[in-house]
Amino acid sequence: MTKEILLGDEAVALGAVHAGLTAGYSYPGTPASEIMEYLIRAARTAGTFVAAWSVNEKTAFEEALGVSFAGRRALVSMKHVGLNVAADPFMSAALTGVGGGFVVVVADDPSMHSSQNEQDSRFYAQFAQIPCFEPADHQEAYDMTREAFDLSERMNIPVMLRLVTRLSHSRAGVETGEARPQNGLKYGDRQCWTLLPMNARAQFKRVLELQPELVKISEGSRFNTLELNAADRSLGVIASGIAHNYVLENVREGAKKPSVLKVATYPIPEALVRKLVAHVDTVLVAEEGFPLIERSLKGLFGIPGKTLIGKLSGHIPPAGELSPESVRAALGMKPLERQAPSEFKPAGRPPQLCLGCPHADTFKALNKALEGFTKSNVFSDIGCYTLGYFPPYNAINTCVCMGASVGMAKGAAEAGVFPAVAVIGDSTFGHSGITALLSAAASHTNMIAIVLDNCTVAMTGGQPTFASGDRLLKIIEGVGVPKDHIRVITPLPKFHEQNVRIMKEEIEHSGLSVIVAARECLEETRKKNKRE
């Protein structure tokens, strides 16, 4: 055994490699990006498996599913909202079952450090009725990934591994084991994999019948631990994932130790929960994300004769991530003594566009071109350019999900908004903007889509983009945007006047226009220069 310092994300990636991974796919998204970053680096050295970025999470999921169909082990990783994009194949993959072990790694971002919403992916696992592992630390992230592949193959079902930001982006030592060889090629059974109603009904029945067995497996998992305090039956804590760390952090030196059940696997290990609940008067449920365990304990009627506390009771804040302090308060412990805070309130320092960023020049030109119009007509998207929301730009009015800008601009134009402008990055356009632009082209919508082509996925650290440069222009033309109204500008201060003029011309044009603002991200240029 060797010990390595790894990010939580990297521990998962290495666990997958050692589990005999044949291929992994992903789309960049914080906090999941480092899984694929690691796999790509590892593949470059080892050269025995495939590790690749995909155009979006749905595609990544389907590519991985194809690997599993072929009898070989596959991983797909994404951030929580990525699973919304991949939800279609995700729900049906539970029915097809798997060939080779198939692990879906989803990293949730409670507190929305780098996201547009909070979600708890354990609900997706419950929804699809597939097993889910929730590691509490790096060692578990590694070990559970390996075990998830085995379980997936043994039970013939995809398995989810659920991460959260604090584990994904924390480093610690991990002891690793021997690598297992890859599976050989073995084709899937067409009756299982062709979800025609007649086949799908049989497959769904199989998933339903599997559930009692999955609960039993969860109950027997070595990752779930139950420690009952025979001397004090007042409080019991059910803590899942990293919430367990916060509980132990607080009670490690405390005189009064509650009974603690650590839940690390799903479906909920029911027998263990019953044992804990029977042992204590008050049950505190601490879980990162939404109250999944707490809600199932509460049901409609609560637990007769017991007090149940957690997020639903308000003992733990329902929004945002847990902290050692919020769990401490729920445990009924006094806050630690700490340095008196200064009365001085430091000014906030939000993230912002880099000095000289091409997006800044595009926004300056756009603001100028839109002078005289209402300012509420710029629909934006997910990327560095979302920072155009802040002063001095104040350039955008929406950011909802990947690709929403183009569809929303079309809808707004059809509702009477003029001029309707969509602002979308090249990678986001490739991810989810193309279909919306096809729709706008087919409808001859009077709107402008500005594609900010900076040749990279910048916000997540500079991953490759698929819809950039010449290919981007061909796609735009290919979906049916009139060639005369595909304009390319270079967002640089020296072209400001010219760029404003082009934007104004396209605003005046009655119909669909696309302006491509093409200039490479400064970070990428810097990285390239460093390499040379």
If binding is defined by CB under 8 A, does position 400 make contact with another protein?
Answer: no
Binding mask 324-343 for another protein (x = CB under 8 A): xx--x------xxxxx-xx-
The edge-to-edge listing of strands for the beta sheet with 73-79 is: 50-53, 21-26, 73-79, 102-108, 159-164, 132-133, 265-266
Positions in 30-49 near another protein (CB under 8 A): 30-31, 33-34
- Per CB under 8 A, the list member of 62, 123, 171, 504 interacting with another protein is 171
Do the beta carbons of residue 459 and residue 384 sit within 8 Å?
Answer: yes
Do the beta carbons of residue 75 and residue 135 sit within 8 Å?
Answer: no
* 65/243 with CB nearer another protein: 243
User: How far is the first Cα of the chain from the last one, in angstroms, to the nearest whole number?
Assistant: 37
Do the beta carbons of residue 257 and residue 127 sit within 8 Å?
Answer: no
- Per CB under 8 A, the list member of 44, 198, 300, 344 interacting with another protein is 344
* 99/289 with CB nearer another protein: 289
If binding is defined by CB under 8 A, does position 522 make contact with another protein?
Answer: no
With contacts defined by CB under 8 A, name the span among 57-65, 164-172, 201-209, 443-451 that binds another protein: 164-172
Q: Which helix (H) or strand (E) holds 141?
A: helix 138-155
Do the beta carbons of residue 449 and residue 436 sit within 8 Å?
Answer: no
Minimum distance from CB of 431 to another protein (Å)?
17
* 222/338 with CB nearer another protein: 338
Calculate ∠ Cα 433-439-441, nearest 5°. 100
If binding is defined by CB under 8 A, does position 350 make contact with another protein?
Answer: yes
* Per-residue exposure over 459-471, b if at least 16 CB sit within 10 Å of its own CB, e if not: bbebbebbbbeee
Minimum distance from CB of 359 to another protein (Å)?
11
If binding is defined by CB under 8 A, does position 173 make contact with another protein?
Answer: yes
Minimum distance from CB of 250 to another protein (Å)?
8
If binding is defined by CB under 8 A, does position 248 make contact with another protein?
Answer: yes
How far apart, in whole angstroms, are the C-alpha atoms of residue 484 and residue 461?
35
* 167/285 with CB nearer another protein: 167
Q: How many residues bind another protein (CB under 8 A)?
A: 50
* 96/456 with CB nearer another protein: 456
- Per CB under 8 A, the list member of 246, 290, 363, 429 interacting with another protein is 246
Grouping H, G, I as helix, E, B as strand and the rest as coil, residue 90 is helix
If binding is defined by CB under 8 A, does position 280 make contact with another protein?
Answer: no
If binding is defined by CB under 8 A, does position 323 make contact with another protein?
Answer: yes
CB atoms within 10 A of CB 295: 15
- Residue among 421, 403, 392, 417 nearest 517 (CA): 421
* 196/336 with CB nearer another protein: 336
* 318/324 with CB nearer another protein: 324
If binding is defined by CB under 8 A, does position 183 make contact with another protein?
Answer: no
With contacts defined by CB under 8 A, name the span among 29-37, 215-223, 227-235, 268-276 that binds another protein: 29-37
- With 0-12 / 13-18 / 19 or more C-beta atoms within 10 angstroms meaning exposed / middle / buried, residue 257 is middle
- Residue among 412, 482, 423, 477 nearest 453 (CA): 423
If binding is defined by CB under 8 A, does position 305 make contact with another protein?
Answer: no
Binding mask 86-125 for another protein (x = CB under 8 A): ---------------------------xx-----------
With contacts defined by CB under 8 A, name the span among 26-34, 70-78, 275-283, 494-502 that binds another protein: 26-34
If binding is defined by CB under 8 A, does position 384 make contact with another protein?
Answer: yes
Grouping H, G, I as helix, E, B as strand and the rest as coil, residue 477 is helix
Angle between helices 404-414 and 434-443 (to 10 degrees): 20
If binding is defined by CB under 8 A, does position 66 make contact with another protein?
Answer: no
If binding is defined by CB under 8 A, does position 252 make contact with another protein?
Answer: yes
- Per CB under 8 A, the list member of 179, 354, 400, 401 interacting with another protein is 354
How far apart, in whole angstroms, are the C-alpha atoms of residue 271 and residue 69?
34
How far apart, in whole angstroms, are the C-alpha atoms of residue 460 and residue 523?
12
Alpha helices in 304-416 (DSSP H): 324-330, 358-369, 404-414
If binding is defined by CB under 8 A, does position 166 make contact with another protein?
Answer: yes
Token couple for 316: 């733990």
Phi, psi dihedrals of residue 202, rounded to the nearest 5°: -65, -40
Grouping H, G, I as helix, E, B as strand and the rest as coil, residue 103 is strand
Under the rule (CB under 8 A), what is the footprint of another protein?
3, 5, 7, 30-31, 33-34, 113-114, 166-167, 169-173, 242, 245-246, 248-250, 252, 323-325, 328, 335-339, 341-342, 344, 346-354, 384, 387, 391, 459-461
